[in-house]
């Protein structure tokens, strides 16, 4: 078995037994990035010297017997997390020249855990997109078929893990941006409960929805990553002050008596029948493991897309107003006055999708429209949240498809924003409600991966990871990778 096919757990064991050093492991992955990423475009920045320096320090810790579970293991960061002294672009022209003066809390936590950062990963511009085609650095390709999109906005994170260019990566999920690309690339992605992972130093898109999480090969690896990422942070006012359990502790629990809710709304029109067949087969596997299936309803879930596309653009129009060409980021040449500086810096620095969402958001928040749009969307958000609360009175987890279809061709939906927005129809509701959710590989349709979505109750990540891990102990979908990258 090659080093790059090993899980984080396996790599950790090999490092501790000294059968491989962190420097050797880091070089192996840096070589793979150099060899294969030309076909994928998953990295914006490769931090070779930085990574090798971290690997050398990790080897010293391992030699002293001071290693933790992630010490010496290479990972990669979505380019939305600020990294001190290293470019943090957010996939945009606006921040193409931005060198962060500090680390995001997530980055700092991985540094403290002894992990090695291989580089910064490509993403949709300011995390706005479902296909990773809006990046200033060009689209990312899906490793299973490079003519197809990897999903977005964490497309670089998902593609790099699926092609085993990095053992694991971080992503962010505002409306499905960890789970949807994980589904389309055939890997495991976890969006934790809102407030479980600090947002400090994570460039904001929609502050009440954004949440960071891990993208990995397996649920066990996701648990190891979340152990490092989760926790209260006084620098983030939305961070929840709650003890962090050991997310690996309950992985081995059996699933006898587990109650799985299947929402009828997730299995109706709009779902590709081949994708539906894969999801039903995955649910049948859970029945064999002792779980009980309960039919449930989420009556307001159909309103999640319109509610989201009022709330998220409203928050983004507010958050992105800081990019004005004055203090940092892109600045137009030779502005004639302050107004010209603002107008041209923004019109030249932002891409079409970001401009579209800023305009929608500014309109929804404007005088005379706030009550009609934003306030109404927030009321719908409460209804969606209440639907989940009622469902979790009857069931332990909710399951369904992560995406209504498999990865589509690049350019296929570029001219149709509504079709693109509907890619996230099954994932958005969990963000509006602040719930944890994950996607695990469940099979293939039309030779492309299909993800099973598992949604848990608030701070129920341990149960989610247990449910996913038991599925992966009885299937091998998560072990498969595209032949061309082996």
Give the residue numbers marked as catalytic.
78, 153, 177
Q: H helices of 127-251, where?
A: 155-162, 179-185, 219-229
Q: Distances in Å between the alpha carbon of 250 and those of 19, 392, 463?
A: 29, 20, 7
- In angstroms, the CA 390 to CA 386 distance is 6
Q: Distances in Å between the alpha carbon of 461 and those of 16, 197, 436?
A: 27, 12, 7
- In angstroms, the CA 248 to CA 289 distance is 20
* Closest C-alpha to 283, from 262, 253, 311: 262
User: For the chain, what's the residue count?
Assistant: 486
- In angstroms, the CA 364 to CA 30 distance is 45
* Closest C-alpha to 432, from 379, 485, 361: 379
Q: Distances in Å between the alpha carbon of 424 and those of 103, 173, 192, 262, 452?
A: 30, 11, 17, 18, 14
* Closest C-alpha to 151, from 180, 125, 108: 180
The CA-to-CA distance between both ends of the chain, in Å, stands at: 10
């Amino acid at each position: 078995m090659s080093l790059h096919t090993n899980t984080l757990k396996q790599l950790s064991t090999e490092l501790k037994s000294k059968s491989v050093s962190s420097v050797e492991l880091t070089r192996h992955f840096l070589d793979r990035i150099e060899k294969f990423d030309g076909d994928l475009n998953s990295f914006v920045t490769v931090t070779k010297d930085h990574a090798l320096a971290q690997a050398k320090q990790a080897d010293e810790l391992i030699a002293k017997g001071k290693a933790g579970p992630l010490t010496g293991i290479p990972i990669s960061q979505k380019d939305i997390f600020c990294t001190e002294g290293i470019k943090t672009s957010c996939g945009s022209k606006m921040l193409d020249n931005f060198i962060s003066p500090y680390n995001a809390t997530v980055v700092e936590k991985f540094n403290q855990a002894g992990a090695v950062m291989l580089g910064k990963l490509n993403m949709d511009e300011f995390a706005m997109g479902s296909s990773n085609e809006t990046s200033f650095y060009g689209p990312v390709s899906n490793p299973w078929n490079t003519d197809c999109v990897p999903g977005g906005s964490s497309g670089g994170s998902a593609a790099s893990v699926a092609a085993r260019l990095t053992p694991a990566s971080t992503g962010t999920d505002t409306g499905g941006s960890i789970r949807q690309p994980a589904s389309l690339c055939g890997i495991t992605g976890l969006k934790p409960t809102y407030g479980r992972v600090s947002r400090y130093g994570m460039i904001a898109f929609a502050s009440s929805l954004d949440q960071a999480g891990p993208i990995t090969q397996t649920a066990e690896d996701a648990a190891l990553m979340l152990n490092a990422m989760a926790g209260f942070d006084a620098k983030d006012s939305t961070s929840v002050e709650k003890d962090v359990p050991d997310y690996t502790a309950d992985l081995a629990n059996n699933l006898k008596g587990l109650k799985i809710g299947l929402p009828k709304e997730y299995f109706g029109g709009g779902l590709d029948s081949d994708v539906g067949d894969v999801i039903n087969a995955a649910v049948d596997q859970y029945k064999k493991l002792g779980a009980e299936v309960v039919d449930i309803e989420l009556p307001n879930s159909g309103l999640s897309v319109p509610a989201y596309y009022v709330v998220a653009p409203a928050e983004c129009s507010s958050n992105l107003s800081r990019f004005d060409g004055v203090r940092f980021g892109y600045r137009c040449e030779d502005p004639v006055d302050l107004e010209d500086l603002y107008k041209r810096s923004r019109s030249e620095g932002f891409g079409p999708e970001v401009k579209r969402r800023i305009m929608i958001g500014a309109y929804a928040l404007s005088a005379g429209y706030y009550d009609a749009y934003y306030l109404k969307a927030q009321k719908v958000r409460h209804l969606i949240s209440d639907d989940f609360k009622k469902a979790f009175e009857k069931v332990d987890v909710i399951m369904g498809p992560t995406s209504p279809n498999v990865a589509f061709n690049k350019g296929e939906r570029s001219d149709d924003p509504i079709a693109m927005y509907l890619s996230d129809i099954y994932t958005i509701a969990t963000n509006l409600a602040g719930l944890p959710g994950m996607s695990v590989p469940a099979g293939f349709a039309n030779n492309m991966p299909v993800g099973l979505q598992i949604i848990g109750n608030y701070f129920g990540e341990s149960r989610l990871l247990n449910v996913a891990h038991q599925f992966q102990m009885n299937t091998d979908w998560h072990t498969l990778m595209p032949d061309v990258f082996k």
